[in-house]
Amino acid sequence: MLRRDALLLIDAALAEDVGPGDFTTLWTVPEDRQAEAVVVAKASGVFGGCYAATETFRRVDPHLEIEAAFAEGTAIEPGDVTMTIRGSARSILTAERTALNFLQRLSGIATVTRQYVRAVEGTGARVIDTRKTTPGMRWLEKAAVAAGGGTNHRFGLHDMVMIKDNHIAAAGGITAAVEAVRSQNDLGLAVEVETGTLDEVREALAAGADRIMFDNMTPEMMREAVEIVRAHGEGGPETEASGGITLETIRAYAETGVDYISIGALTHSAPSLDLSLRLTAL
């Protein structure tokens, strides 16, 4: 089931595209014309966003029959028919672009995520997303990351405390920032602290952070940072790598023993997967 904010987004996307009416379709297609349409993959990738596309068609016309040939997160190849839609030709054509926009965008995110996940296989590190998402599309994009095999980080500012460099500067240091949070954290939120040096790692560890982020460190430095945290003993904080890590370098970071690797590119730089809709009048 889609979240209410995702449904509102779909409605807004349709309103943006259709406006006062799809006049091309209304003026060229007979009202009673029925059709069957298939969504075909034109590139290899991972299928994502089927729920959003399905709901888009249903918002335009609840009488459309929609069948998905693949589950979310399934690998697809060129020529694969991913979805079939039957019913009013007018309805299918009006919903087509908005539905494909969701499918292509979310399949692209799932595809890129799968590439990163495969790159760290066997290391124990988990690939996680960030808040660098398209405004209004966060839930859908994070669901696409999960479809690609990734793990979702915090959804927003409200479900985890992440003390970053600017918070630290404003609070007067890592220790002061963590102590301030601990004194007010009646919600029991986990506390993560961003660090950029080994001394900051030690300070975050001493302050009692639940997770320590290693930002813009080299793999060599990160390996040492992981060892510092592990030396703390059983039940120590989780560790996270962040900052400019690419598909080419992620394996080296994963092999440091870090628990999580956050990749903003999963959502802010993923290219859309090429999919097209082909309609046949009945």
C-alpha distances in Å from residue 11, one per residue of 48, 52, 53, 171, 209: 19, 11, 12, 42, 41
Q: Which of 105, 215, 240, 251 is catalytic?
A: 215
Give phi and psi for 7, each to the nearest 5.
Answer: -65, -40
Is 223 a known active-site residue? no
Is 126 a known active-site residue? no
Do 102 and 49 contact (CB within 8 A), yes or no?
yes
The candidate with the shortest Cα–Cα distance to 82, out of 91, 90, 71, 92, is 71
Strands (E), the chain: 34-41, 45-46, 65-68, 75-76, 81-88, 126-128, 161-163, 191-195, 211-215, 238-242, 260-262, 275-281
SS3 261: strand
Is 97 a known active-site residue? yes
Q: Which of 59, 132, 202, 223 is catalytic?
A: 132
Q: Which of 164, 165, 223, 224 is catalytic?
A: 164
Strands (E), 134-209: 161-163, 191-195
SS3 76: strand
Q: Which of 58, 59, 86, 97 is catalytic?
A: 97
Q: Which of 22, 72, 96, 194 is catalytic?
A: 194
Distance CA 166, CA 7 (A): 35
Q: How many Å from the N-terminal Cα to the C-terminal Cα in the chain?
A: 31
Q: Which two tokens stand for residue 123?
A: 């290391």
Residues designated as active site: 97, 132, 164, 194, 215
